[in-house]
Chain A
Amino acid sequence: MADIKMKSVDAVIIGFGWTGAIMAKELTEAGLKVVALERGPNRDTYPEGAYPKSIDELTQNSRHALFQDMSKSTLTIRHKPDDQAAPYRQLAAFLPGTGVGGAGLHWSGCHWRITPEELRIRSHYEERYGKNFIPEDMTLQDWGVTYEELEPHFDFAEKVFGTAGQAYKVNGKVVGAGNPFDADRSSEFPLPPMRNTYSAELFRKAAAEVGYHPFSIPSANASAPYTNPYGCQMAPCTFCGFCSGYACYNYSKASPNVNILPALRLVPHFELRAECNVVEIQTDSTGKKATGVLYVDSQGNRVTQPADLVILGTFAYNNAHMMLVSKIGTPYDPKTGQGTIGKNFCYQNENSVSVFFDNDKYTNPFIGAGGNGVACDDFNADHFDHGPLGFVGGSPLWVNQSGSKPISGVGLPSGTPAWGSAWKKAVKDTYTHVLSMNAHGTNMPFRDCYLDLDPEYTDYLGRPLLRLTFDWHENDIKMIRYAVGKMQKIAEAMNPKAIKVSVKNFGEQFDSRHYQTTHMGGGVIMGDNPATSAVNRYLQSWDVSNLFVVGSSAFPQGLGYNPTGTVAALTYWSAKAIREQYLKNPGPLVRA
């Protein structure tokens, strides 16, 4: 173990998931010498995704082959600011990744664009519902960027990801049976929508019957052979059902490893260093300029990597952790509302309805793909009148049959015992005759939901763990109960043998023991005011202008849709600003 100082580079990227890979591609195209540092190991379709060993539920999902190494680090969780926090010791509610590709290697592939109104959510709600509609403790704010500005980047990201979908409106013209609530697009999806499972088609029919507007979910699982703008190739998805939690064996699911890294490998001025865990971003004596990063490599060496430009692109909440341990920006204080680092942590507010059929009707739930399915958007975003409902937010509803495996994925009827002969009979009678639908709702930011450093627990490097203070608020429970009620009508229209509704009750606390989603956001949020946001509209730190912080950490609120599509578009948007503005004249791109 030694102290090593590397030669300075133009840009260093912390984390090599989607945001790191996109930034590496964009900045090397601009001629920059780029080093990317990934804390986890090298990973790729071979060997991690190689069939058949990748099709192993126990190793991959139950034993977390691709997920964060919890023995080294985790976060602590508490519900309220005055509670004692406890470590999240076992992966359950959310499954952060590690390694080359990050969570982008084991994501599902639902590939969405944020709705225009969600980008200016405070302004939109105040205009439509009045100044008093948003609760006082809901720290809602606009993003500082518009859908029109992001549209070219959504468009390009879909072409990079090989996204399969059905457009509704292109350049103002209705072109097909896509989501009628969708904003205008500049082009069609690069691939036609995937074929759908029986479960999804049952949802399509039933949702239409009850008056909703079903459409195929945009999916970054290839529906046909495809070569993306980087020359990276994808093969048609085989509906194997092993997406979320797994590396795709078939080059069908978009990932940084499949869709970007093959092109980057050909770039001589790019270097990817795996098993290099960044300890902190270093700044000069003024604290206003980043000088590079300090990391620990796989041999335990402490390595300084100087760089002119630092890109922070770790998983969601880890961006806030890196800012806090590097002492960049002002930590958020929930008592005063001052400070921005750690502010507006947000999650996904999801509940489900299971639908059970007779034994002669096979839903074959093992068939699926992570981004596959049929959704309706009638109760998402502001597609419905919130006035009489008294809550902010909404939820897409869908059947997203991604492949149920027997250890983790058998939904059983209410009242089924947890073990014994009756349990076994229920599993046997149910497994191939059930479908599950989800309300994948928004989670609004609240003053007392935030991230800071834990005063007690540390990671393997001795750094304080991140501490998450989070609980469900009445607004979000009202919303999800409303959305699940609408979804129940779809279930009933399927005329099933039985249905089971799982929905949060008022007063219910966040429960970290059960898988929900790995869609976390906030902590280093974007905005137009340094008093209320950590980064500007280009994801540039207000405090350190040669630091850009990319990822869902920039989201000021939790979206109804899965975050990755918006994360990718924001990253391309930020990269464009770096390439076209920052590199010509390094310094703040927005004057405070």
Chain B
Amino acid sequence: MPLSTSVPSRRSFLLGTAAFVPAVALTGGLQRPALAANPGTMLPYTPTFFTPDEWAFVVAFVDRLIPSDAEGPGAVELDVPAFIDRQMGQPYGYGKLWYMHGPFRPAPATLGYQLEFTPRDIYRKGIPAADQAIREAFGKRFVDLDPAGRDQAITRLQEGELKLSPVPAQTLFGEFLKNTQEGYFSDPIHGGNRDMAAWKMIGFPGARADFTDWVDRYGAKYPFGPVSIKDLGA
């Protein structure tokens, strides 16, 4: 549902405190806990879809979508760029999972994606357009901005303030965000989430898939770490 409202619970109301005020506002002065404490290191990987310029942009971009900080691993150190590059070689990357017959014409946003661009097209056409718009707005290429500058640039893409053609800024941003979260949280067999570090951070046990002994241990922390499909010999 697009429309949600937050209401204070009885307890937080009684305490007079607003719950869950985000620690970081998205625009204006940015505070980042333990910024770049660990910029993250990828395993060696040679992209097969992305060009060197695109690859630098992708790495810098996903590094800000899920930064490395004291809370946990970032997208780069979990090999999310490699995940996205691999996905571009899958049927998904070629738009084979979508109905891609024309005519393509604008429609209300609520009717969903209506462009002729596959995920490969979105990145291939979107990245240079974004880099150009960012250079015009910030005077630098995206990869040459400092982290705060990159966050501002991403926010302006997210909000559609930077105008791109032919792939709209919000389409490019949305594809980046979706694929980055997929790479961060999917099973390591797909090339991201290295060492299941994102699962470990949030407490998701991966492919354990048998909680017969834990379903009625009410309120207790699940004691076992995650397993990957890879660990199970499949």
Query: What residues make up the interface of A, taking CB atoms closer than 8 Å to B?
Result: 51-53, 55-58, 62-64, 70-71, 73-74, 77-79, 84, 86-92, 195-198, 201, 236, 238-242, 249, 351-352, 356, 361-364, 366-367, 405-407, 410, 413-428, 431-432, 456-458, 488, 491-492, 495-505, 508-514
Contacts and interface: CB of A to CB of B under 8 A. Distances in A.
B110 A73 contact: no
A196 B33 CA distance: 39
B4 A362 contact: no
Given A421-B32, A502-B1, A89 B24 contact: no
Nearest to A51: B209
Interface residues of B, number: 86
A74 B181 CA distance: 27
Given A87-B101, A492-B9, A501-B6, 4 more contacts: A361-B219, A362-B221, A424-B72, A498-B20
Interface stretch (B46-54, B124-132, B136-144, B184-192): B184-192
B45 interface: no
Contact of B99 (A74, A241, A419): A74
Nearest to B201: A428
A493 to B, nearest CB: 8
A564 to B, nearest CB: 23
Contacts of A498: 6, 8-9, 12, 19-20
Interface of B: 1-12, 19-24, 26, 32-33, 64-67, 69, 71-72, 90-92, 95-101, 103, 105, 107-114, 151, 154, 158, 177, 180-182, 185-187, 189-190, 198-199, 201-212, 214-222, 229, 232, 234
Nearest to A73: B99
B117 to A, nearest CB: 11
A89 to B, nearest CB: 5
Contacts of B32: 420-421
Q: Is the interface of A mostly helix, strand, loop or mixed?
A: loop
Contacts of B113: 89-90
28 contacts: A52-B207, A55-B209, A58-B187, A58-B190, A70-B98, A71-B96, A86-B108, A87-B99, A87-B101, A89-B113, A195-B215, A239-B212, A362-B220, A407-B181, A407-B185, A413-B6, A416-B20, A419-B177, A420-B26, A420-B67, A421-B71, A424-B69, A496-B9, A498-B8, A498-B9, A502-B3, A512-B111, A513-B109
A504 B1 contact: yes
Nearest to B189: A56
B190 A500 contact: no
Contacts of A201: 218
A457 to B, nearest CB: 7
Nearest to A63: B92
B203 A432 contact: yes
Given A413-B6, A504-B1, A86 B98 contact: no
Given A432-B203, A498-B12, A362 B222 contact: yes
A419 B19 CA distance: 19
A422 B4 contact: no
A240 B181 CA distance: 22
Given A55-B209, A352-B1, A367 B221 contact: no
The residue among A55, A236, A241, A513 with the most chain B CB atoms within 10 A of its own CB is A55
Nearest to A57: B186
B211 A238 contact: yes
Contacts of B206: 55
Nearest to B227: A52
Given A417-B24, A432-B203, A239 B1 contact: no
B218 A501 contact: no
Given A428-B202, A503-B1, A497 B216 contact: no
A504 B3 contact: yes
A505 B108 CA distance: 18
Given A413-B6, A431-B202, A498-B12, A198 B219 contact: yes
Contacts of A52: 207, 209, 229, 232, 234
Contact of A414 (B6, B24, B99): B6
Nearest to A471: B110
Nearest to A496: B9
B198 A406 contact: yes
Given A421-B71, A512-B112, A241 B209 contact: yes
Given A64-B97, A427-B202, A502-B1, A497 B19 contact: yes
Task: State the 9 A-B residue pairs at the shortest beta-carbon distance, nearest first.
Answer: A414-B6, A498-B19, A413-B20, A240-B209, A86-B107, A58-B186, A422-B24, A406-B185, A502-B4
Given A406-B185, A496-B9, A512-B112, A55 B219 contact: no
